[in-house]
C-alpha cells in the first residue's frame, strides 16, 4: 500500500499462512471501513464485509474481490446475523458518522449503535472472537476541557439533534464494557476523532468534504458561525493503523483509546487551506451555527502513544492533497457521465 513507504509508519507485519485470520468488518463498504478492509487483506487475512449500503457504496470495495479472500454480505446489523465458520476478529464500524446522514433517520441510527453492537457482541461471544467498537469523539459532546483525555466524561445534550448518534455510541461503549466484564469477551473501544481522505462521499456533509467539493465546483464555502470552532483532522491511513494496533493490543487494554490527530485548526483555517490547495476563487460565507455544534475538538492521545506506540504522521496539507485529487476525479467522472446522458 502506498502509505507504507510514503508516510513512514512501522506497519504491523503480515501474517504467515499458519496464522491466517478471518476478520469481519461491519460497515466495511463505507469510507473508513473500505480502507480497513483493504489493509486487512494486505496483511493476509480473509475479510467478511457486512454493510446495508445505506451510506456505504459497492464502488468502495469493488476492487477487493480480486484477492479471492474478500466476501461481501449485504446485511443490517440491527438484525441478528449468522456467520458460518470461524471468525477471529470483528470490527464494528456500522453507523453513519456525518450529522446530515445520521439525523436523516435518528431511530435507525440509535438502533444501529445499540442493537447492532449487541448482535455483533453476541457473535463475538459465540465465535470466541475479539471485537472492536468504533466509538467517537462525539461522546465528549461540547467539551469543557481541551485536549480531551479518555477520563473526561463529556458534556452531551441527551435530547438534541445529535443525541441519536452521541448517546447511541455512549451506550455501545457500555455494552462493550459489560460484555467484557461479565462474559470475559476481549473488547476494544476506539474513540475516533475527525477522519478524512479518499472515498468520502461528495455529499458526506462533514466539513472537509463540504469545503473541497464547494471549492472544486466554484461554490461558496459555507462556514458556520465565525469559523472559530476548532477541529483535529486525522488522515484515514493513520486512523486505520491505529485501529489495527488497538485490535492487536494486549488483552488487558479494555479502556477506551482516543485515535485522532492532535493538530488543532479552526474551521476558518481549514477553509483557507482548502482554497489554497485547490486554487479556487470561491468565497467564504458565514451561516448560523447548528444546534450543539462543538466549539472545540482535540484529542489527548497519550494513551495511544503509550499503549499502541501510535501517533499520526500525515500532515494536514499532504492528506488534503490526496483527498482533493480523489474528489476532483470523482467530480470529473460524474460530469462525463452526465454529458453522455444529455
pLDDT tens by residue, 226-250: 999 999 999 999 999 999 999 999 9
Q: Which of 165, 179, 196, 235 is catalytic?
A: 165
Domain boundaries, the chain: 2-200+234-261+296-314
Q: How far is CA 53 from the centre of its chain?
A: 16
pLDDT of 58-68, one tens digit each? 999 999 999 99
Residue closest to 233 by CA, chosen among 168, 307, 118, 319: 319
Q: How confident is the model at residue 98 (pLDDT cuts 50, 70, 90)?
A: confident
Across the range 198-207, mean pLDDT stands at 93
Q: How confident is the model at residue 294 (pLDDT cuts 50, 70, 90)?
A: confident
Q: 2-200+234-261+296-314 architecture in CATH?
A: 3-Layer(aba) Sandwich (3.40)
Does residue 141 carry a pLDDT above 60? yes
Residue closest to 278 by CA, chosen among 326, 340, 212: 212
Edge-first strand order for the sheet with 22-26 is 70-74, 46-51, 22-26, 89-92, 130-136, 187-192, 257-259
Does residue 269 carry a pLDDT above 80? yes
Tell me how far apart the alpha carbons of residues 334 and 108 are, in angstroms, rounded to a whole number. 30
Is residue 89 a contact partner of residue 24, using CB atoms and an 8 Å limit? yes
CA-CA-CA-CA dihedral for 303, 304, 308, 314, to nearest 10: -160
Q: How far is CA 47 from the centre of its chain?
A: 18
Residue closest to 251 by CA, chosen among 179, 150, 310, 180: 180
Please give the pLDDT value at position 274: 98
Hunting for cell 467539493 — which residue is that? 213
Please give the pLDDT value at position 18: 47
Q: How confident is the model at residue 2 (pLDDT cuts 50, 70, 90)?
A: very low
Please give the pLDDT value at position 12: 52
Query: Containing H/E element for 336?
Result: helix 316-341
Across the range 314-324, mean pLDDT stands at 98
Does residue 263 carry a pLDDT above 90? yes
Across the range 7-24, mean pLDDT stands at 60
pLDDT of 153-162, one tens digit each? 999 899 999 9
pTM, entire model:
0.93
Q: What is the CA radius of gyration of the chain?
A: 19
Does residue 14 carry a pLDDT above 50? no
Q: What does the mean pLDDT of the chain come to?
A: 93
Across the range 309-333, mean pLDDT stands at 97
Please give the pLDDT value at position 211: 98
Is residue 196 a contact partner of residue 233, using CB atoms and an 8 Å limit? yes
> Grid coordinates standing for 134?
468504533
- Is 165 annotated in the active site? yes
Percentage of residues in the chain having pLDDT higher than 90: 87
Please give the pLDDT value at position 289: 87
Across the range 209-222, mean pLDDT stands at 97
Greater model confidence, 34 or 19: 34
Does residue 88 carry a pLDDT above 50? yes
SS3 242: helix
Is residue 274 a contact partner of residue 221, using CB atoms and an 8 Å limit? yes
DSSP string, 89-109: EEEE--S--SHHHHTTSHHHH
Amino acid at each position: 500500500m502506498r502509505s507504507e513507504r510514503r508516510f513512514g509508519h512501522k506497519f504491523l507485519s503480515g501474517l504467515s499462512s499458519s496464522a491466517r485470520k478471518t476478520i469481519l468488518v461491519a460497515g466495511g463498504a463505507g469510507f473508513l471501513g473500505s480502507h480497513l478492509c483493504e489493509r486487512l487483506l494486505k496483511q493476509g487475512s480473509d475479510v467478511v464485509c457486512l454493510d446495508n449500503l445505506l451510506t456505504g457504496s459497492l464502488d468502495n470495495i469493488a476492487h477487493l474481490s480480486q484477492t479471492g479472500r474478500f466476501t461481501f454480505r449485504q446485511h443490517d446489523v440491527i438484525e441478528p446475523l449468522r456467520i458460518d465458520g470461524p471468525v477471529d476478529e470483528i470490527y464494528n464500524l456500522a453507523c453513519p458518522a456525518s450529522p446530515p446522514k445520521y439525523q436523516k433517520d435518528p431511530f435507525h441510527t440509535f438502533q444501529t449503535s445499540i442493537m447492532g453492537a449487541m448482535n455483533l457482541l453476541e457473535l463475538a461471544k459465540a465465535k470466541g472472537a475479539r471485537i472492536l467498537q468504533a466509538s467517537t469523539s462525539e461522546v465528549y459532546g461540547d467539551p469543557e476541557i481541551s485536549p480531551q483525555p479518555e477520563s473526561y466524561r463529556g458534556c452531551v445534550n441527551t435530547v438534541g439533534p445529535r443525541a441519536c448518534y452521541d448517546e447511541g455510541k455512549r451506550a455501545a461503549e457500555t455494552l462493550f464494557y459489560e460484555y467484557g466484564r461479565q462474559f470475559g469477551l476481549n473488547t476494544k473501544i476506539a474513540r475516533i476523532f475527525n477522519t478524512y481522505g479518499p472515498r468520502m462521499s461528495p455529499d458526506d456533509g462533514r466539513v472537509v468534504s463540504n469545503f473541497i467539493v464547494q471549492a472544486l465546483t466554484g461554490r461558496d464555502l459555507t462556514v458556520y458561525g465565525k469559523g472559530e470552532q476548532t477541529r483535529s483532522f486525522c488522515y484515514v491511513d493513520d486512523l486505520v493503523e491505529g485501529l489495527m494496533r488497538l485490535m492487536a493490543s494486549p488483552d488487558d487494554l479494555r479502556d477506551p483509546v482516543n485515535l485522532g490527530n492532535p493538530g488543532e485548526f479552526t474551521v476558518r483555517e481549514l477553509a483557507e487551506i482548502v482554497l489554497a490547495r485547490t486554487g479556487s476563487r470561491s468565497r467564504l460565507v458565514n451561516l448560523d451555527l447548528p444546534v450543539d455544534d462543538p466549539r472545540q475538538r482535540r484529542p489527548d492521545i497519550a494513551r495511544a502513544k503509550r499503549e499502541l506506540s501510535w501517533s499520526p504522521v500525515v500532515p494536514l496539507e499532504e492528506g488534503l492533497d490526496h483527498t482533493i485529487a480523489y474528489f476532483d476525479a470523482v467530480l470529473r467522472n460524474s460530469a462525463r457521465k452526465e454529458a453522455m446522458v444529455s
